[in-house]
Chain A
Amino acid sequence: EAGVAQSPRYKIIEKRQSVAFWCNPISGHATLYWYQQILGQGPKLLIQFQNNGVVDDSQLPKDRFSAERLKGVDSTLKIQPAKLEDSAVYLCASSPPGGGYEQYFGPGTRLTVT
């Protein structure tokens, strides 16, 4: 079974530039998550999709972050414009729909904003 795919693995940008991350979840997983993990901290949920609908985006900084999952499969997360404090690892995870399931994580994208 193929795992969660993410690209790119690493990205370095200057502040005020824009960046986009891509995620392809495990086939059949209706729920997709984007997390931000700052060095030394646990993952913080940015947005949760079920199919192509948003379940929770309460911690997404909507003035600069956006995410979409148009066909209910892969997803993109965008930051525009980036700030220094956005430097982090962005993790994508997927799971079957509903609660009580483990989440399968991708390898993450390490973003450095200079």
Chain B
Amino acid sequence: SQQGEEDPQALSIQEGENATMNCSYKTSINNLQWYRQNSGRGLVHLILIRSNEREKHSGRLRVTLDTSKKSSSLLITASRAADTASYFCATERSNAGKSTFGDGTTLTVKP
């Protein structure tokens, strides 16, 4: 079974709006990563947040981590049509480099 579960499964917004997607997990983690996948392509790494961090920013992306609730959120501000993709969270429980992926949130940004 997958460690992380993204919510919602699908999200449709207008260009310029913010998009928020969430990830919940079941066991303690070392770090959590967010990836983007455009249709028919491989995954691209967005942000890694460690278990002792609460928030990280990268450009228009903001990631939060609440280890007490075992959840993370990814916020994309001022969305663009090019942000249309599937977004996955991946949790790493040990230092072996093994990550477990959720089933993703499909984001559609309408121009």
Interface string of A81-114 (1 = CB under 8 A from B): 0000000000101010111111111111010000
Indicate whether B48 reaches chain A with its CB closer than 8 angstroms. Answer: yes
Indicate whether B31 reaches chain A with its CB closer than 8 angstroms. Answer: yes
- Collect the chain A residues with CB atoms within 8 Å of residue B2's CB: 42
Indicate whether B30 reaches chain A with its CB closer than 8 angstroms. Answer: yes
Q: Which residue of B lies closest to A38 (CB)?
A: B103
- Collect the chain B residues with CB atoms within 8 Å of residue A48's CB: 96-98
Q: With A105-B42, A106-B42 known to touch, is A42 a contact of B102 (CB < 8 Å)?
A: yes
Question: What band does the interface of chain A fall in when counting residues whose beta carbon is under 8 Å from B?
Answer: 20 to 34
Q: Is the CB of A99 within 8 A of B30?
A: yes
List 11 other contacts, CB 8 Å, given A91-B42, A97-B97, A98-B95: A31-B97, A41-B103, A55-B98, A99-B31, A99-B92, A101-B97, A102-B45, A103-B43, A103-B99, A106-B42, A110-B40
- Collect the chain B residues with CB atoms within 8 Å of residue A102's CB: 33, 45, 48
Indicate whether B101 reaches chain A with its CB closer than 8 angstroms. Answer: yes
Interface string of B80-111 (1 = CB under 8 A from A): 00000000100010111111111110000000
Give 15 A-B contacts (CB < 8 Å), ordered by A residue: A41-B103, A42-B101, A43-B43, A44-B101, A55-B97, A56-B96, A56-B98, A91-B43, A99-B30, A99-B92, A99-B98, A100-B50, A100-B97, A102-B33, A105-B42
Indicate whether A19 reaches chain B with its CB closer than 8 angstroms. Answer: no
Indicate whether A45 reaches chain B with its CB closer than 8 angstroms. Answer: yes
Q: Is the CB of A42 within 8 A of B95?
A: no
CA–CA, A108 and B42, complex, Å: 6
Q: Is the CB of B104 within 8 A of A100?
A: no
| Closest Cβ–Cβ distance, residue A100 to chain B (whole Å) | 6
B104 in complex: contacting residue of A42, A56, A95, A106, CB < 8 Å = A42
- List CB contacts (< 8 Å) of A46-93 with chain B: 48, 50, 55-56, 91, 93
B97 in complex: contacting residue of A35, A98, A104, A110, CB < 8 Å = A98
